């Protein structure tokens, strides 16, 4: 069975994966529908469980849309995938900057971040200009954005503003872009299959979130970080994390890794994703909000869905690059 899977062509593997995800979502939709109709039969429905079930259904529906968008971008090839992630960065940065108190003096630097930096950075991934890709934002944008802002001569909270803008740009553009940057890695014996590695990464990050949510809702008792993120529980983290690592090991046939390496990579993704979720939640709260936005029904904003991606992607990218490319 496994040998057949490994020897499938990349595009056949992709169809198997999409089929697998669609079946998982169908099961989730069915469970949501069953829970909903069971609640509807109850003459005095518990308001809290009603809320949880409605949110579950909304989340699953949004997942269908996200998976469809993702599948279309994948089928459109490298350019389609890169454009999709450029838009994800755009929406993430829009949410970050909406909550960040910037001033009129930052206007030009911000405009350039949206309309020049995002296209340029993703263009570098497209043309596989790796060296400039790694330093464009940490070096050039880091130095030039405050240079542009300073011309407005507004010193009120200058350091805070510059720091917050840099954070927003790092998280929303630089970190998230390391997921599609997997496409530019030259991995021996894996040529032409990098899109599958990106699929693997996104699958593991998102499964980790979903399974932690499921385990947390079913068995969650002990809060891990009640102040920062009241929904995260120890039971959710352990149950969701371990099952994700197991799935990661089983999915080794779409990666350049052995099953053990694949489990290790999945573990790194789970841990970084979990911690990233906590950090982003703390930032969100320090900016005075509960959700980053409302663009994805049931989930919140784009950054609520991409918070774990932004922390896991650069580490996963560099581990893969260090250990699996010449």
Residues that bind another protein (CB under 8 A): 90, 93-95, 97-98, 102, 104, 107-108, 110-111, 114-115, 293-295
Provide, rounded to whole angstroms, the least separation between the CB of residue 98 and another protein. 4
Sign of CA dihedral 77, 80, 83, 85: negative
Nearer to another protein, 110 or 195 (CB): 110
Provide, rounded to whole angstroms, the least separation between the CB of residue 118 and another protein. 10
| CA–CA separation, 162 and 139 (whole Å) | 14
| CA–CA separation, 93 and 16 (whole Å) | 33
Task: Give, in order, the Cα–Cα distances in Å from 37 to each of 45, 54, 147, 326.
Answer: 11, 11, 59, 55
Nearer to another protein, 122 or 252 (CB): 122
The residue to which tokens 């490319």 are assigned: 325
| CA–CA separation, 120 and 113 (whole Å) | 10
Nearer to another protein, 115 or 129 (CB): 115
Q: Which token pair is 94?
A: 């829009």
| CA–CA separation, 63 and 76 (whole Å) | 20
Provide, rounded to whole angstroms, the least separation between the CB of residue 103 and another protein. 8
Opening angle at CA 203, ends 268 and 124, nearest 5: 80
Nearest to 317 by CA among 209, 175, 166: 175
Nearer to another protein, 92 or 179 (CB): 92
Sign of CA dihedral 212, 197, 68, 293: positive
Provide, rounded to whole angstroms, the least separation between the CB of residue 104 and another protein. 5
**CA 41 and chain centroid, separation:** 37
Q: Which residues of 293-311 are buried (b: 16+ CB within 10 A; e: fewer)?
A: bebbeebbbbbbbbbbbbb
Q: Which residues of 82-91 are buried (b: 16+ CB within 10 A; e: fewer)?
A: bbbbbebbbb
Nearer to another protein, 91 or 200 (CB): 91
Provide, rounded to whole angstroms, the least separation between the CB of residue 295 and another protein. 8
Provide, rounded to whole angstroms, the least separation between the CB of residue 47 and another protein. 22
Nearer to another protein, 105 or 239 (CB): 105
Nearer to another protein, 19 or 101 (CB): 101
| CA–CA separation, 19 and 115 (whole Å) | 36
Provide, rounded to whole angstroms, the least separation between the CB of residue 110 and another protein. 4
Nearer to another protein, 13 or 305 (CB): 305
Provide, rounded to whole angstroms, the least separation between the CB of residue 323 and another protein. 38
């Amino acid at each position: 069975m496994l040998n057949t899977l490994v020897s499938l062509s990349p595009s056949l593997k992709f169809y198997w994966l999409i089929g697998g995800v669609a079946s998982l979502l169908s099961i989730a939709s069915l469970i949501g529908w069953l829970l909903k109709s069971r609640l509807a039969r109850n003459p005095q429905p518990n308001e809290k469980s009603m809320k949880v079930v409605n949110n579950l259904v909304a989340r699953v529906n949004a997942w269908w849309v996200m998976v469809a968008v993702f599948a279309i971008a994948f089928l459109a090839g490298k350019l389609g995938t890169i454009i999709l992630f450029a838009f994800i960065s755009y929406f993430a940065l829009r949410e970050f900057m909406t909550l960040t108190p910037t001033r009129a003096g930052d206007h030009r630097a911000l405009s350039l971040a949206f309309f020049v930096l995002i296209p340029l950075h993703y263009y570098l991934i497209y043309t596989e200009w790796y060296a400039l890709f790694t330093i464009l934002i940490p070096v050039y944008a880091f130095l030039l954005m405050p240079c542009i802002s300073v011309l407005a001569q507004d010193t009120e909270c200058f350091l805070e503003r510059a720091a917050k803008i840099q954070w927003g740009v790092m998280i929303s553009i630089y970190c998230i872009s390391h997921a599609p940057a997997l496409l530019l890695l030259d991995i021996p014996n894996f040529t032409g299959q990098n899109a599958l590695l990106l699929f693997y990464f996104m699958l593991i990050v998102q499964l980790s979130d979903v399974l932690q949510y499921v385990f947390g809702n079913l068995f969650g008792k002990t809060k891990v970080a009640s102040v920062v993120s009241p929904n995260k529980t120890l039971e959710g983290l352990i149950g969701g994390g371990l099952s994700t690592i197991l799935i990661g090991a089983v999915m080794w046939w779409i990666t350049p890794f052995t099953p053990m390496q694949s489990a290790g990579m999945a573990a790194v993704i789970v841990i970084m994703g979990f911690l990233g979720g906590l950090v982003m939640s703390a930032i969100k709260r320090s900016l005075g909000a509960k959700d980053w936005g409302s663009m994805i029904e049931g989930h919140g904003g784009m950054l609520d869905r991409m918070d774990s991606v932004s922390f896991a992607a650069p580490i996963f990218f560099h581990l893969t690059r260090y250990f699996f490319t010449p």
